[in-house]
Amino acid sequence: MSFSLFNKKSRVQKFWDWFSKHEKHFYQDLEDLQKREYLFHQLSVNLKKVQAELVFEFSPIHDDGRREFTISADGIKSVFPKVIELVEQAPDLENWQINAFRQPVPGDEGALNFGDLSLTYQDIFFRYQDGVYGKLGIELHIRNYDGSAQFQHAVYLLLDALLGEYDVTMGIDWIEWERLADGDQTELQPLTKLRDLINQKKN
């Protein structure tokens, strides 16, 4: 008996086969909390079969009838190739826009509630210097910053909203974390200005 290894499906193909069979539930049922928890658990299990560090997000259903499904490396650069591979091999599904990495959110009014922490763009200022390979090194000054991992993770989520996950990782060389001193914003710029600086570096 013989068989061809070339017929064996990859983990990426198996994931999309699974998602395609269940996509109608992700499209229709996410507003039901109980169903959403079950669906998210099943999705997480199947996505981690491809790569353990992968995470995901869904948008509401947009006016054009599509829902966004975003696959993220959670800012881990070594996982970026797997995100790109997954999205490049995604099937064409009528009701879906499938994104590689967290996408930037238009506008300058970003806000985040993360556990018991509330944070907005207006709570963060920065100064910068040129880093290596055309990236920026930034010093963040953050209102009420306490140095915790939770606080830093919340700031990274805000940065993803401002710049997009890809540009945060590929455009920023290093970050230094500082608590914003009351009334002291000398030589600091509002966080929203970082978007223009990163875009200038890309052009």
Asked if 148 and 109 touch (Cβ cutoff 8 Å), the reply is no
Rounded to an integer, the average pLDDT of 100-108 is 94
Q: Is the pLDDT of residue 95 over 60?
A: yes
pLDDT of residue 164: 96
Tens digits of residue pLDDT in 27-76: 999 999 999 999 999 999 999 999 999 999 999 999 999 999 999 999 99
Contacts made by residues 143-146, CB under 8 angstroms, sequence distance 24+: 143/179, 143/180, 144/179, 144/180, 145/177, 145/178, 145/179, 145/180, 146/179
pTM: 0.86
Q: Is the pLDDT of residue 3 over 60?
A: no
- Give Cα separations from 102 to 68, 159, 168 (angstroms): 11, 10, 10
Q: Where are the domains of the chain?
A: 10-100, 111-202
Tokens at residue 69, please?
């499904």
Q: Is the pLDDT of residue 4 over 50?
A: no
pLDDT of residue 22: 97
pLDDT of residue 7: 54
